Amino acid sequence: MSAKGSFFVVNRVAAGGKTGNVWPTIEEGLRSLGLTFDYRFTEAPNHATTLAREAVEEGYETVVAVGGDGTVNEVVNGLMAPGANRAGATLGVIITGRGSDLARTIGIPSDYTEACARLAGERTMTVDLGLVTFYQEGEQRQRYFVNVGGGGFDAEVAHRANRAPTFMGGTIPYLTSLVTTLLAYRNKAIDLILDDQEPISMVANSVVVANCQYFGGGMKVAPDADPNDGLFDVIVIGDIDKIEFLMTVPKVYDGTHITHPQVDTYRARRVEVRSEQDLLLQVEGEVCGHTPLTFDIIPSALQIRV
């Protein structure tokens, strides 16, 4: 199989259709740089995964996700064959959607022109991937992620934020959904198991399992996370009351929330979350299942064009 160049997976409906509007400009910029490439538009949820998998099978060396963090996640799941330890192609990213949290950690510019120029270069960054095992409709399923996954309150917020109007950008819908969700949310009793240690029993608001630093449209939830250290940063928000939680939210933007007495941080290669109550799971801001959850790190699994 002869190697090909780049294949672009374009999610036209990302950011409320903004991606479809700006794609002709991006395409023109890419061609002005002398790049040769093929592309396809996604047509349904998870279609980006199918397109990325087909691109790998056809021998493309680089597969570029054009959209938000959800599009990137779908493409990553196409680059990773089930049970694989390495992606089948290099990932490229042009962020046009509401979310740009992955780009914040790994340094991909939001400016389309600069992002295109990066794709024309040779520089890559090797990062770890997470693999989460969860349950959906009574069946055990798995999903890869490069940025952040989490169970509990943060997933409930993501579920509500994803139904918000798209014209407001990434941060406002998340904050509005956070406050609305908090009014009715009850913290849950969980068992947290890190690597092979004894379970830690607690009442928790959220368990955030981070490979990178940001989520929620710019919140620095895991300020010390390194996507290339072979470990998750685990941020556990404990049995915090609603008023105290709201007072702490502004601190998440600069990462100083981790000093709060109700916030615990850990590092682990494997994280399990068990609960007698169902905790929703979010991966890269997309809700995809519920507990029991098992997160496994896959070291140095993905190269990203930066």
* Distance separating the N- and C-terminal Cα atoms of the chain: 26
Q: Do domains 4-122 and 131-297 have the same CATH topology?
A: no
pLDDT of residue 198: 98
Cβ burial, residue 27 (10 Å; 0-12/13-18/19+): middle
Residue 182's identity, in one-letter code, is L
Answer CATH for 4-122 from 3.40.50.2300, 3.40.50.10330, 3.90.1150.10, 3.40.50.10320: 3.40.50.10330
On the question of pLDDT at 302 being above 60, the answer is yes
Which residue reads 């047509």 in tokens?
43
CB 67 within 8 A of CB 11: yes
Mean pLDDT of 189-214: 97
How far is 190 from 255, CA to CA, in rounded Å? 24
On the question of pLDDT at 167 being above 60, the answer is no
pLDDT band at 1 (very low <50, low <70, confident <90, very high): very low
Helix 18-32 / helix 112-120 crossing angle, nearest 10 deg:
40
Q: At a CB cut-off of 8 Å and minimum separation 6, what does 120 contact?
A: 33, 34, 35
| pTM of structure | 0.93
Q: Give domain limits for the chain.
A: 4-122, 131-297
Q: Answer whether CATH 3.40.50.261 is correct for domain 131-297.
A: no
Task: Give one word for 20, left, alpha or beta, with left for phi > 0 and alpha for psi -120 to 50.
Answer: alpha
Element (H, E) at 233: strand 232-237
Q: At a CB cut-off of 8 Å and minimum separation 6, what does 242 contact?
A: 182, 183
Which residue reads 């570029």 in tokens?
64
Task: Calculate the CA 84 to chain-centre distance.
Answer: 19
Task: Give one word for 121, left, alpha or beta, with left for phi > 0 and alpha for psi -120 to 50.
Answer: beta
Percent of residues in the chain assigned helix, strand, coil, to nearest 5: 30, 35, 35
Per-residue pLDDT tens for 238-288?
A: 999 999 999 999 999 999 999 999 999 999 999 999 999 999 999 998 899
